[in-house]
Amino acid sequence: MKSKALQIAFQSPFPPFRGGIATFSRYVFESLQDLKDVHLSGHNFTALYPPLVFPGKTQFTDEKMPLPDIKETVHAYNPLNWKVAANAILDEAPDVYLYSHWHPFFCPVQLRIIHYLKQKNPSIKVAGLLHNVIPHEKFPLQHYLTRSLFLKTDIPVVLSGQTLDEFTSLRVRQQPIKLFHPVYTQEHPEESVTEIRSKFGATSDETILLFFGLVRPYKGLDILIDALNGLDMKSLGLRLFVVGEFYMDKQTVLSKIDTANKPFIHIRDEFVHDAEAALYMKCSDVMVLPYRTASQSGILSNALNFHLPVICSNHAGLAEQVNHGKSGLLTEPENVVELRDAIVAMLNKPHRERMRVGVAELKETLSWNRFAQALREVLTN
């Protein structure tokens, strides 16, 4: 007798919302759809952050990424919507309600939706994809809100050892399931590295560092600038691209750059779409993630997709995806001297090429198909 397909209602930000959580959710949705024994419905937000508190220029991308079976259901900060949203989810008759969690701001909406779901269907399983447990920047009542949500979550799923440890520190009775952050599978550009570098004002013989993604204090761009200030970037043939919208005071960072190095540090203060992001990934030699804190990183996943060696802080959530000395270099967080030494080590081109091979090998073990199968098994048992 054929077994019944698992009915999953997945609530998360999806495109046209932009950012790492929306991108990750799109990949999760598409990967689960590929499984024959899963019936999936998606429930996007109608509104995410209140405009007055959102630090960026826009919450949306203008790229068209159609996703069938995704409905606009949940208003994150309008309580009058939450029961309506729960009823719309219940209309799908799901066995599992799967939500994404990354910030305590979204705990109230999830708590109310779960309350209404359980009220009408006590047997429904509630699962959470927990991108962050402790937010990168402090938030009022963060531990109370987060712990309250996790206590209502039957199947907590974490993506790194860092989030596993943070979950355990909250002393919630549930035992989280640890999976991993898969590698994104974006296509490589057709243009050659030389062509792309010429477009961005760089030469073929330079070593290019890339700092990519939203620029926030915890990501440590100022630490990277301090490390480069101890180097003569011109004589070393070293160039840095900083590509991402600033969610902090840009002038504070720019004022730290040594005058002699300024011509070799390019700041692009805006969100770039996947196609252009791929150009930066392909033409760079090293991705640098000097994060003060980290749970896991979609930026690191992008780097692996483009076989790009990395220098990153030795946080559990990052180190799991870096084989030190073989696919990248780990440095102690906020250690400017170690970061500078790692940058100098990456000037060795044969060393970088060997690391590219190591990155390609690591990429094979972190596929989306493998992730989807593991997630399906977790949600079934």
Each residue's pLDDT tens digit, 40-91 = 999 999 999 888 777 777 777 776 555 767 999 999 999 999 999 999 999 9
Q: Does 193-364 carry CATH code 3.40.1800.10? A: no
| Of 338 and 165, the one with more pLDDT | 338
Label residue 183 by pLDDT band (50, 70, 90).
confident
Each residue's pLDDT tens digit, 253-280 = 899 999 999 999 999 999 888 889 999 9
Q: Report the distance separating Cα 171 and Cα 152, nearest Å.
A: 13
Each residue's pLDDT tens digit, 77-102 = 999 999 999 999 999 999 999 999 99
Query: What is the 3-state secondary structure of 18-34?
Result: CCHHHHHHHHHHHHHHC
End-to-end CA distance of the chain: 19
Task: Dihedral sign for Cα 301, 166, 131, 271, please.
Answer: negative
Q: Percent of the chain, pLDDT > 90?
A: 67
Q: Report the distance separating Cα 219 and Cα 202, nearest Å.
A: 25
Q: Report the distance separating Cα 52 and Cα 54, nearest Å.
A: 6
CB 71 within 8 A of CB 43: yes
pLDDT at residue number 224:
97
Angle at 107 (CA atoms; ends 101, 113), nearest 5 degrees = 95
| 6-182+366-380: CATH number | 3.40.50.2000
Identical fold between 6-182+366-380 and 193-364: yes
- Which among 148, 97, 102, 141 is positioned nearest to 123, based on CA atoms? 97
What are the extents of the domains in the chain? 6-182+366-380, 193-364
| Tokens 């330079």 -> residue | 206
Label residue 2 by pLDDT band (50, 70, 90).
low
| Tokens 């991308």 -> residue | 61
